[in-house]
Chains A and B, each alone.
Chain A
């Protein structure tokens, strides 16, 4: 059987528009699946006051795009809480790459994601979500604030808009291709 899946990770801080982007390009309404964290998270998650809690669920939103008869692309939004790194590892294995969404009002919420994909050596693009209208900063200012490597593309997008989200996805695949040569 040669049925192939390819994964794209959509990351960024809380409220940067990950689920919105997944929903705008997906051919199906975004689905939510969950993973259960058990003992492994003790000592990592703060369980003060809820010591009886033996498991935590991590929700994962995703969508799909049919590439051709035997290839499907899945877009996974990373869990909202950055501490669920083990989930990020599973999402990233074999992935084409990642789109890191940036909200210029809260740049710092996307630092962890940029750092993660840099360390992993995985192709990624940053996409400034213009959810809230005009961006008061130019590309150089944002790059400087994010300490972004010059090889990492910075794109502008409106995660609510299908063609804009699609352009971000195309930008990622082009970047992944460019890194091969």
Chain B
């Protein structure tokens, strides 16, 4: 089935504003370091003027939350969440965790992970 949320077919979905309008037709985040595991957190700000989709994301990010978790909890595709999160980062509603690394070759980090797993 065609993903009605993606193409904005409101006959079936009852979504009045297609998601691509919400993001001004943007198809990719400008910040290309955004990874599905990148974490974000809400910054204190007045969100009343924002569209509900944006507010829903901010409400989910009272604690650090990954792009993948936001996508799963709001039941929206990863690609659209990345763009929405990118817009919120640009406007200062969200703060960004450490950017995704190209390779994990950090001995100290691996040893920390190992010690923590062994305690689980």
Contacts and interface: CB of A to CB of B under 8 A. Distances in A.
B120 A71 contact: no
Given A33-B78, A57-B3, A68-B112, A6 B117 contact: no
A157 interface: no
B73 A90 contact: no
A1 B98 contact: yes
Given A173-B117, A174-B114, A93 B102 contact: yes
Given A36-B6, A65-B120, A180 B110 contact: yes
19 contacts: A4-B109, A5-B38, A31-B72, A33-B36, A33-B72, A33-B77, A34-B78, A35-B77, A35-B78, A35-B79, A36-B3, A36-B77, A64-B66, A71-B112, A93-B100, A94-B101, A95-B104, A173-B117, A180-B110
Interface of B: 1-3, 6-7, 35-39, 41, 64, 66, 68-69, 71-73, 77-79, 95-98, 100-105, 107, 109-114, 116-118, 120
Across the A-B interface, the 6 shortest Cβ-Cβ residue pairs: A3-B97, A31-B72, A5-B37, A33-B71, A94-B101, A33-B72
